[in-house]
Amino acid sequence: MTDIFNIGTSALVSLQRAIGTTGHNIANVNTEGYSRQRVEFAALPPQITGAGFVGSGVTIASITRSYDAFLTEDVRARTSSAFGSSMSADLSGRVDSILANPDTGLGPALDTFFSAMQDVANNPGSIPERQVLVREAEVLSDRFRYLDGRFSQLERQISVQIEDAVRDINDFATSIAQLNEQIVSETIRAGGQPPNDLLDERDQALNRLAEKVGINTFEQEDGAVNVFLGNGQSLVVGNIASTLKTFPSPYDVGRLSVGLSGLAAQTDISSFLSGGELGALVDSRSVLIDDARSELGIIAVGIADFVNEQHRLGLDLNGNLGTDFFKPLGPLVTAQTTNTGTGSVSSTLLDASALTGDEYELSYDGASYTLRNTTTGATQTGAGPTFTVDGVEITVSGAPASGDAFLISPVSQAGSLFDVQITDPRAVAAASPVRNSTSLGNAGNATLTDVAVTGVGSLPLAGPITLTFNPDALGAGVPGYDVSGIAGGPIAYDPAVDSGGITATLGDFTFTLGGLPADGDSFTIENNVDGSGDNRNILAMVDLQTAPLLSGGTSSFQDTYSTLVASIAVNSRQALSASGTEQALLDQALSARDSIQGVNLDEEAANLIRFQQAYQAAARVVQVADEVFQTLLAATGR
């Protein structure tokens, strides 16, 4: 009788736990991250008898999770990608809206500025047109500073988001470490049985961590999970959690870098982080915002440099040579905050067309300097004191200490510094400082045209320059022009060969000679005393709008900006598309995981009925055993 009672009671106990587990599943059908649990039944060891083995009933071998490690890891990876892509799409969309907005973008301001310059060229002596030009230059300046300010504002917002993400990552890491400790302890206490609800809680914490940053995990034999970041930095090992930290960049206190406890102080691991919101924030800041600011800076430096260069070659309404139209923009040099020496670095713009938008770090090791392109990683070493790279000259002075470093930024801050120097409309140098004339007594049809000033070192001229054709200017039978009033003559010119036109240079200007001169024909080049009706220099400035001056002489100002806008727009569309794709992949991964791990109410209801019926049958077994036992007692009591 005892065996029958034991069999029945073992079944009752086991089925009661199975019903309880089923009820637990049903109760947690809406619990995020919950994995369906199932009871694993096992037969108790049988008893041997003379007739063979007789069963002893049932027991619960284990209560396990419906769990698939591959699908869980896939969900974690997709979660990191989806949240990172969503953040990238949001940031690229915001940058796109800044640049492409016709009311705030740079393109319309550039067009209006050069249009106002053309109006001055059409009426160079008119003050109202000049006033409009100065005003449009101020609008252009405001637009540069507005755009750069929006980028700065966006970068500050990213810094706040980076701090929030780091705080959340540290909280999740601490929680995972604590859960590791509980899981190991509870597994030992349960004789190796898994603490399912704690495992679910840890998986959920790992998924939440993956939302913030890409991670790799490794499960130890004792059940603890180790978590690694980037290229292998450990975040959680067993029950020990490391912490991320933020600290100011050594070159910009307003820019946050990310470090990890356990590494050397001020060790920036930002470039090693990928995936999740933090990876997207760091990547978008350096690839999206920094690149956009650099391209904007290239345009700002180019406009300031080339417009100033041409404006200085002109003559204003006051009879003075032109000055800088815009504030000259040069590279900025920032010393590392940890420098201990007395060295200093200065930098000069040599060629705006050679600018790439990259920044350069100059470091000193106690014996020599290393100049490293922070974008490409290309380096050059030397003892100094001068280095030249991408249109920029860098000069070192003083006594730096070993380990000192400096950051050279040719264009990154140019947008915020762009400003107008001209305030007086009369100071717009629309005229050329020299003019040419043809002698009324010339017998031939020779011409002197296209006088262009290339410098102001010899201006104003000491007196008129006269070019007189002489068949023997360079010797008997060798024709050319005798030159008086300036060094540089005679100029070889053979009418039989050169009548189609040749370019000649005298002092700081060039000109074109053509046609068939007669002996004694002459031309005069002299100071332009009254340039109120002269528009030659302003026309040369207008031509700068479409001239290929940037990117090594391949792109105009408008081309460069249009390329930037198009690039950001494509990036935004790609990011948005990638975000949608990653979300769809995450949904698929979740669906696949939940098909294994999720609670199905129909299935649980069926199990509940099945276990209930088995429980009733087990109770009937106990009842029958009791009836048999009572019958036996009654029979033996007579």
**Using one digit for the tens of pLDDT, what is the confidence trace for 225-238?**
999 997 788 999 99
Question: pLDDT value at position 6?
Answer: 86
Q: Which contacts qualify for 132-135: CB closer than 8 Å, 24 or more apart?
A: 133/425, 133/428, 134/420, 134/422, 134/423, 134/425, 134/428
Nearest to 562 by CA among 546, 574, 579, 575: 546
pLDDT more than 70, % of the chain: 99
Q: State which H helix or E strand residue 388 sits in.
A: strand 386-389
Q: Report the SS3 class of residue 129.
A: helix
Residue 610: pLDDT band (50, 70, 90) is very high
Q: What is the pLDDT of residue 637?
A: 67
pLDDT tens column, 159-211? 999 999 999 999 999 999 999 999 999 999 988 899 999 999 999 999 999 99
Confidence band of 314 (pLDDT split at 50, 70, 90): very high
CA distances from 525 to 94, 98, 434, 499 (A): 56, 50, 7, 20
pLDDT of 393-404, one tens digit each? 999 999 999 999
Q: What is the average pLDDT value for the chain, to the nearest integer?
A: 91
Rounded to 5 degrees, what angle do the CA atoms 222, 31, 590 make? 75
pLDDT of residue 458: 84
Residue 600 tokens read as 């199905």
Is the model's pLDDT at 104 over the cut of 80? Answer: yes
**Nearest Cα residue to 544 out of 133, 99, 113, 107:** 113
Residues 441 and 158 sit within 8 Å (Cβ to Cβ): no
Please compute the mean of the pLDDT values over residues 109-137 and round it to a whole number. Answer: 94
* Rounded Cα distance, 200 and 374, in Å: 44
Per-residue pLDDT at 270: 85
**Cα–Cα distance measured from residue 382 to residue 369, given in angstroms and rounded to the nearest whole number:** 5
By the 8 A CB rule, do 332 and 559 touch?
A: no
**Span 38-96, pLDDT tens digits:** 999 999 888 887 778 888 889 888 898 888 889 999 999 999 999 999 999 999 999 99
Which uninterrupted H or E stretch holds 135? helix 127-189
Stretch (H or E) spanning 503: strand 502-506
* Element at 371 (helix H, strand E): strand 369-373
The residues, any chain, with a CB within 8 Å of residue 464's CB and separated by 6 or more, are 485, 524, 525, 526
b/e sequence 505-534, b meaning 16+ C-beta within 10 Å: ebbbbebebbbebeeebbbbbbbbeebeeb
**Over 60: is that where the pLDDT of 567 sits?**
yes
What's the pLDDT at 638? 54
Mean pLDDT computed over 452-479:
91
Torsion over CA: 258, 261, 264, 269 (sign): negative
Q: What would the mean pLDDT of 488-513 be, rounded to a whole number?
A: 92
**Percentage of the residues of the chain whose pLDDT score is greater than 90:** 67
pTM of the entire predicted model? 0.85
Mean of pLDDT values over 403-414? 92
Tokens read off for 265:
């102080």
* Strand positions, DSSP E, 193-349: 215-219, 225-229, 233-237, 240-241, 244-248, 256-260, 332-335, 344-349
How would you classify the pairing of strands 379-382 and 369-373? antiparallel
Band of residue 115 on the pLDDT scale cut at 50, 70, 90: very high
Q: In this structure, which amino acid lies at residue 185?
A: S
